[in-house]
Amino acid sequence: MEKEIYLAAGCFWGAEHYLKQLDGVVFTETGYANGHTQHPTYEEVYTDTTGFAETVHVRYNPQRISLKYLLEMYFRSIDPTSLNRQGADEGTRYRTGIYYTDADDRPMAEYVMEQEASRCSAPLQVELLPLSSFYRAEEYHQDYLAHTPGGYCHLPSSLFEEARRQRDTDTIQKNDRYALVLRQMQSLAEGETDEVALMANMAALLHDTFGHWWTGFYRVLGDQLVLGPFQGPLACMRIAYGQGVCGTAWQRQRTVIVPDVERFEGHIACSSESRSEIVVPVWREGSIVAVLDIDSRQLAAFDDCDRYWLEQIVG
């Protein structure tokens, strides 16, 4: 599984050189994003009349680096309170922005921006928008600093050294643990067909391995979800279709990740301790028969790494 995000961080020469060194980033290219003309050239963008921002297209492996960590690293490379200026580079083409192609990434980006904002004394000037257009820059601008020794760069070289040393150890560790859980579940599932027994052991195994606040299942019964095997404190017993995070995942027929439950409209608070949540539908023969729900006391505890593994494990 690979994911992508587009990051505007001032001059794209330095920005690409920085982002490509992060462990888990698998591809970068420089280009022009979210302007209003077609196929702009560098010279056109340079006039600052096309609306484009110099941007780095980043593809990453969410099993090695989370979007949260990637965005935190991005923030280290910019002055987020500076409007249309990074280092000596000035103009709307040098504005900062996070442009996503997957709307599900927005809540996590909002969470990271809020955390960053709380550390800044001035308001953030970083845009958070869906990607509306992107044109790859001329070859001359690709990997510019790697093939131009001493080339202009608005970022200090110490930042690149730091980037090379970075590891998203939380994600790497989480990934290894899930791989083990999957193997354990596969051997538990051998020869066992009773779904309640499997759900019970899966809840126990996940709960033991990760120590989250609440781990369990709701089963589809008619037009409601009814509490199934779980580990953790008492929980609400029935959830209607489309209600709460669980009912929403059932309705949307896909995994829902909520970095901050207070920002999810209609979240059902079984406990005030729960701060973030992931709900994964369980399929049998083309229909959803249950959902796996995991709650954490930490904000933003779940991401695409959890989604990737939990979908396989319940599968």
Active site residues: 11
CA–CA separation, 69 vs 277, rounded Å?
18
CA–CA separation, 291 vs 217, rounded Å?
6
For ligand SME, which residue of 65, 245, 282, 301 counts as binding (CB under 6 A)?
245
Q: Tokens representing 274?
A: 């729960």
| Residue closer to ligand SME (CB basis): 206 or 270 | 270
Q: Which amino acid is at 136?
A: R
By the 8 A CB rule, do 289 and 158 touch? no
For ligand SME, which residue of 116, 168, 293, 306 counts as binding (CB under 6 A)?
293
CA–CA separation, 231 vs 169, rounded Å?
27
Candidates 117-125, 126-134, 159-167, 239-247; binding stretch for ligand SME (CB under 6 A): 239-247
- According to the binding rule CB under 6 A, does residue 244 interact with ligand SME? yes
- According to the binding rule CB under 6 A, does residue 77 interact with ligand SME? no
| Residue closer to ligand SME (CB basis): 11 or 206 | 206
For ligand SME, which residue of 239, 257, 300, 305 counts as binding (CB under 6 A)?
239
**Least distance to ligand SME from the beta carbon of 253, Å?**
15
Q: Tokens representing 4?
A: 């992508």
Q: Which amino acid is at 9?
A: A
Hey, what's the torsion of the CAs at 84, 90, 96, 101, to 10 degrees?
A: 110
What residues from 294 to 313 belong to the interface with ligand SME (CB under 6 A)? 295
For ligand SME, which residue of 30, 231, 274, 296 counts as binding (CB under 6 A)?
274
Q: Which residue's beta carbon is nearest to the bound ligand SME?
A: 244
Place of tokens 């979007």: 67
Candidates 28-36, 133-141, 171-179, 238-246; binding stretch for ligand SME (CB under 6 A): 238-246
For the chain, counts of helices (H) and of strands (E): 10, 14
Candidates 19-27, 91-99, 123-131, 240-248; binding stretch for ligand SME (CB under 6 A): 240-248
| Residue closer to ligand SME (CB basis): 24 or 232 | 232
CA–CA separation, 31 vs 50, rounded Å?
13
**Least distance to ligand SME from the beta carbon of 127, Å?**
30
| Residue closer to ligand SME (CB basis): 57 or 267 | 267
- According to the binding rule CB under 6 A, does residue 155 interact with ligand SME? no
Q: Which conformational region is residue 51 in: left (phi greater than 0), alpha (psi within -120 to 50 degrees), or beta?
A: left
> According to DSSP H, which parts of the chain are helical?
12-19, 42-46, 67-76, 106-117, 144-147, 157-165, 169-189, 195-210, 244-252, 304-314
Residues forming the site for ligand SME (CB under 6 A)? 214, 235-236, 239, 244-246, 267-268, 270, 274, 277, 293, 295
